[in-house]
Structures are given as C-alpha cells and as structure tokens.
Structure 1
Amino acid sequence: MAVTLGDVARHAGVSLATASRALNGSARSVTEELSARVRASAAALGYLPNAPAQALARSSGTTVGVLLHDVADPYFGGIARGVGDAAARDGLLTLVTSTDGDPRRELQTIRMLHAHRVRAIVLAGSAYSDVTAVRELDEALTAYEAQGGRVVAIGDHGPLYDTVHVHNREGAASLTYALAQLGHRRFAVITGPRRLRVSADRLEGVLEALGEVGLTLPEGMLQHTEFTREGGKAAMARILDTAREHGTPGPTAVIALSDICAAGALAELRDRDIPVPAGISVAGFDDIPLATDLAPALSTVRLPLTAMGESAVRLALRERGATAQRSEVFAEVVLRDSTAAPARD
C-alpha cells in the first residue's frame, strides 16, 4: 500500500498539519528541528509528496499548462516542443491539452489548470472572434492571474496578457507579393475558419497585397475551412469545380494559409492529374517539417515554431511587469518547388 502523509506524521510524532507544512512548502513556517524529523521519516518510509498538495500550499506549482488545438498538428507540436524544452531547463513539468479549437473546452481546461495551481498557462491556440467566448475566457484567466498565475499568449489574445506576437499578416502579404512578382494574376486562397483570429489576420495580409497590385479574388476563389488536410483538399476541390462551372480560367496560384491545408490541396491536384507548379502553383504557411517532404517541396512562410514556445516560457518566468510584455516573431517567405512562374495561357 502507498505510504500516506498520515503515516509520515505518526512516524515523526507530529501532527498531520505540521507534516504537511514541512513537506509541501507552506508559507507557514515549521521549525528546522521538526522539518528535519518529518523529512527523515518520509525518507525512511519511502513517502512521495503529493504535487497538487504542494502547489496548493505554495499557491504556485511546478507545472506549465499548454492549451493548443491539436497536438497531432505539426504546427502545435513544434510550439509544444519549445515550451517543453524551456520548461524542463527550469525544472518545470509541461502539461499539454488539446482543445480542438472549442472555446467551451478551452474555458473548462483553464478552470481545471487554475484549480491545480499550475505555475503558468500558455495559450498556443488561436484567439476567437466570438465576443461572448472571449469575455468568458478573459474572466477565467483574470481570476487565475489574481491568485498568482501567469498567462502568456502566442498570437493575438488582446492587451491583457504577455504575448508572443506573430507577424501573420505581414508574412501572408509578403508571400502574396512574392507570387505576384513571379507573374501570377489569378489567385485563390484557402483560409481557416471564421471563428479564429489567425484566419482573419493572414487573410487580411493576402487581400492587402492583392489590392496593392490591383488584383481581387473572383467569386468562389476564397474558401474557409478547418486547418486540416481534409479541409484543404475539399477547399481545393471547390475552387476547381467553381471555375469549371462558371466557365472561367482557374487560378494559377493557390495560397493555403496553413501547410496542413496546402498538403490537402496538393493531394486534390494530384488526384485530378493537375501538375504542380506547371499547372497551378501552391504555397502554404508555417513551414512545418512536412513542408520539405511533400512532392513537390512546399513554398511557405516560415515561423520559428520551437522558438515561439521557448519565448512563451521566458515571458511566463520573467518578473511580472506593470504592463503586458511582448516578444516579436517575424515571418520569412521560403520559395520551393511548388511555385513557379505561371504557364502561358
């Protein structure tokens, strides 16, 4: 049977409360003599301290909670790796939770992490556009911070939190300019769901750049979908079918605003025997490791995913400032074999 704290207290000849304070690091002091006696009894009996109990006693645990949409997505996997590496260097444990982009599930998880007194919460998923969801999440996070917790957001979650600010809009605009410079004039865009701010940020960058070069997206050439391979494949099919139904030329360049969606788009083009880039150029966003393994290798916008996670932990462990602090993350366009100058009509 597992050794309990009560067993340690009886062995040391002290009260249960004294044993708890000695082992769980309570702010209420215990004399060094009693503390040494309790520790000796714990060692003799092989007692393992209860981490949640220690966290409650100290009002600060040794765990960093990470909320992301899907740990199987390489984008979030890279961020989680960075958080884990940085946390481990400071002797902290990382607890990663997938929320599937559901604000209700995210709210429930925040409350649970609060109850377990985690040291910090990293919001690695995208912020939401729904006003009610944002208000409820802010209320839960404010209550958590009021009891000593730290919150760091990767992406735009508003001015309340320390933030790893990703230049999504600028990266998307730069990619669009690069494709326009190759000679493309007929574009299609596959973006994420409307409920996510990152979808809006990246799309705004594309539309801004298209406007600068005097271009617009024809009807049906903008498709919203989930940031998944299946979503990207279905969106690519809708783009091609729309062009065929309207009897109009299809796009010469497709910008998928996540690499996972771009992988799905490439699959749909392969199924239809449309060559890339000779028939249609395809570009993604994020530069996940898969991007170089696709055939052809995917042009994309590079984000330092692991470094983003590490930066979040550095902000979380930094002394709290009077105002929210921000770490900047810049995007870099990387052109590979999936994009080229358009073929002559």
Structure 2
Amino acid sequence: MPRTSSTRTPGSAVTLQQVATAAGVSLATASRVLHGSGGRRVAEALAERVTAAAAELRYVAHAPAQSLARSRSTVVGVLVHDIADPYFAAIAAGAMGVAREHDLMVLVANTFRDPALERDYLARLRAQRARAVLLAGSAFVGEPFAEEVAAFTDSGGRVAAIGAHGTGIDTVEPDQYGGGRLIAEHLVALGHREIGVITGPAGLATVAQRLAGFTSVVARPYVAPADFTREGGRAAAHELLRAHPRLTAIFALNDLMAAGALAALRELGRPVPEQVSVAGFDDLPVATDLTPGLTTVRLALSDIGAQAMRLLLDDEPGGRTVPAAAELVVRESTGRAAGVH
C-alpha cells in the first residue's frame, strides 16, 4: 500500500515529489510512470505503487512541467577532486563504462578539493538539466551538501556518492577505517613500534577515517601532513625522519605519497625494508612497479565507480549504502623491524 504523505498543505496542488514519497520510489521513477519520461520501462510492481499513490492523492499532471522534465539531458556529471590522481582516474573509468552501456555522456569536473566549487558545479549541472551526478571525491568534514543535493533531486535528477556525504543519497562506502587498521596490525605484527604516518589534506573525511583506523591499533604515531601527491609524500618523509630518526616504519595514506616516501629514503641512504618499512593505501597500478613493491591496501576502484553509477541509474529509491571491502596486499616494502627476530 502507498504511504500517504503528511506534508501536503490543504488546498495546495499535489506535487510529483509527494506522489513519489507516498509510493516509496524515486522522483525519476514516478515521472517515468506518470509522464512517460526517461525512455525506460518501470517494473510493474513499482508502476502500480505510483499510480495508486497518484490516485489516492488526486495528483493532476502539469503539462508545462512535464515538457520541461522530458527535456532532461543525457549527460551525467562525475565530480572528482583531482583527475590527475590515478585514484580518481580509476573510479571515473569504472563509472564511464556503465554510463556507456546506457548511452549516456559523462562530464568529469575537477573540484580541486574545494567544497564551494563542488557546490557550484552541482548547481550548474542542475541548471543544465544533467540526468544525474556522482560525487566521487571524499566528503568534506563539516561541509554538508544536503541543500544542494535536495535542489538537484527535486528537479528530477539523481545523486549518488562514493563515501558517506550525510545526505541520505545512494552511497558506495569503501572501508577506509578498516584499511587503516589492517596496515597498523600488519606493521605491529612485524615488531614496529616507532611508526610515522603521512596524512592527507585536512578536512577530508577519507583522511580522518584512514587515520582513525590506524590509530585504533597504534595509538600515538608520529604524524606529518601532506597533500596526497608524490612530492608531498617525499617532503613529509624527510620531515618525519629529521624529527624522529629512530622510525622503523612509515605509513602514507595513499600510494602516491608512499612513492614519495620511498624516494626520500633512497636519498637518505636508508634501505627499505631493512631499516625502514613503507606502506601505502589504494593499490594503484604503480604500487607493483615501485622498487621494492609497495605493501598497501587494495580498494577495487574501477568496480567502486561502476557500482556507484549503477546505483545512480536504476529505478530504486535513494538512501542505499553498498560497502566496498579493503584488502591488505603485502609486498616487499615491509619487513620485520630492525632488531626484531
């Protein structure tokens, strides 16, 4: 049975969003059933729920609004923090593969980790009547996007995210916390106690989650901030080793910074892993090409992008969360701490 909406104002016209809410479906699904928009067939059970809700609420379609809704484009936006980062390139590739199956064009926009710019792009895509938007970058701590997301979905679009954005939208949730914990347990099992961590940009939820997982095992590591780049990781490793020359392990919160840490250790003549072990996160393709091969946490980035795009394009109501597991991948860059047998 449809769920009767309690938000209707007496005497006011019933909106399509109220019908969708009462039927427990997305706005896009209600529009396909009642307006024939979108060009995709809706499952019979869903269609019956929508028509029953429309009858109960006495919904009357508004012809000009229907015309506008049908004009929604075949463009899907993918908002990333830095397309030059292989992490985002892999996610975008997975998302694009699914979009291609639906004959949709993907527009990738670089937000440079600027929450104001991300909001602006979301508003612009809404103005351009993009069909859907994937928020592929980490959420920003203390920067909710609920208002912007609501404006986009109220206009008939769909929004999904990789990592929780606190908005009740469809989400693929990589296990960032669990991955950080896996690295910490691995290093501790190898006898490491003097450990440095190279963190990422402040204010990103991904950074906070990976670090929290690590510190759930290693309570007080030495920490140096960086910017998720190779050069940033190199500089941070030099900083850590100057301040704490007895370090036996370094954990970088992504593989690019770990590559920079390996470069710094070569410059200092500190062999890896004989004197200092190094671990990263993400398992980018470069992790196997480094010397020594990089111990890291694997996230199936292309699959994550594909799954997020599938959530974005199906007809189910939003608010779902699909977990994405983290896997420890041990290579030659980590070994037993010096003096531990």
Q: TM-score range by the shorter chain?
A: 0.7 to 0.9
What is the Cα deviation at residue 108 of structure 1?
A: 1.3
Please say if residues 146 and 167 of structure 2, whose CA atoms lie closer than 8 Å, have aligned partners that are also in contact.
no
Cα pair 2:194 2:249 within 8 Å, conserved: yes
Cα contact 1:171–1:333 (8 A) shared by 2: yes
TM-score after normalising by structure 1: 0.77
Q: Which residue of 2 aligns with 1:227?
A: 228
Aligned-partner residue type, residue 334 of structure 1: V
CA distance in 1, matches of 2:68, 2:295: 49
Tell me, yes or no, if structure 1 residue 284 matches structure 2 residue 292: no
The corresponding residue for 1:174 is 182
CA distance in 2, matches of 1:179, 1:326: 31
Describe the superposition over 1:309-337 as per-residue Cα deviations: whole angstroms up to 9, x where unpaired: 0001110112132x501111000000101
CA contact (8 A) 1:173 1:209 kept: yes
Is 1:147 paired with 2:155?
yes
Q: Deviations over 1:35-59 (max 9, x none)?
A: xxxxxxxxxxxxxxxxxxxx95625
Of stretches 225-234 and 278-287 in structure 1, the one that deviates more from structure 2 is 225-234
Residue 78 (structure 1) aligned with residue 90 (structure 2): yes
Richer in helix (by share): 1
Counterpart among 94, 97, 100 of residue 88 in structure 1: 100
Task: Please list the CA deviations of residues 44-90 of structure 1 after superposition, one character each: whole Å capped at 9, or x if unmatched.
Answer: xxxxxxxxxxx956253211100001111110000000000011011
Unmatched tracts of structure 2, length 5 or more: 1-34, 38-66
Q: Cα deviations across residues 270-290 of structure 1 (Å, max 9, x unaligned)?
A: 111111111100000000111
Taking a change above 3 Å as real, the CA distance of residues 98 and 56 of structure 1, as seen in their structure-2 partners, is farther
Q: Does structure 2 retain, via aligned residues, the 8 Å contact 1:59–1:148? A: no
Kept after mapping to 2: 8 A contact 1:59/1:147: no
Residues 190-339 of structure 1 correspond to what in structure 2 (within 5 A)?
190-211=198-219, 216-217=220-221, 221-244=222-245, 250-321=246-317, 324-339=319-334
Match of 2:40 in 1: none
Cα 1:329/1:28, change in 2 over 3 Å: closer
Partner of 1:119: 131
Instruction: Return the letter of the residue paired with 1:227.
Output: F
* 1:138, distance to aligned residue in structure 2 (A): 2.3
* Cα 1:28/1:195, change in 2 over 3 Å: closer
In the alignment, the residues of structure 1 paired with residue 161 and residue 69 of structure 2 have an alpha-carbon distance, to the nearest angstrom, of 27
Inter-partner Cα distance in structure 2 for 1:333 and 1:59: 47
Q: Deviations over 1:109-148 (max 9, x none)?
A: 111111111111101111101x3x32xx321121011011
* Consecutive unaligned residues in structure 1, runs of 5 or more: 1-26, 30-54, 245-249
* Structure 1 residue 159, shift from structure 2 partner: 4.4
Partner residue in 1 for 2:168: 160
Kindly report the root-mean-square deviation, in angstroms, between the aligned alpha carbons of the 2 structures: 1.8
What is the Cα deviation at residue 153 of structure 1?
Answer: 0.6
| Structure 1 consecutive aligned stretches of length 4 or more whose deviation exceeds 2 Å | none
| 1:70–1:76 contact (8 Å) kept in structure 2 | yes
Structure 2 distance, partners of 1:161, 1:225, is 30
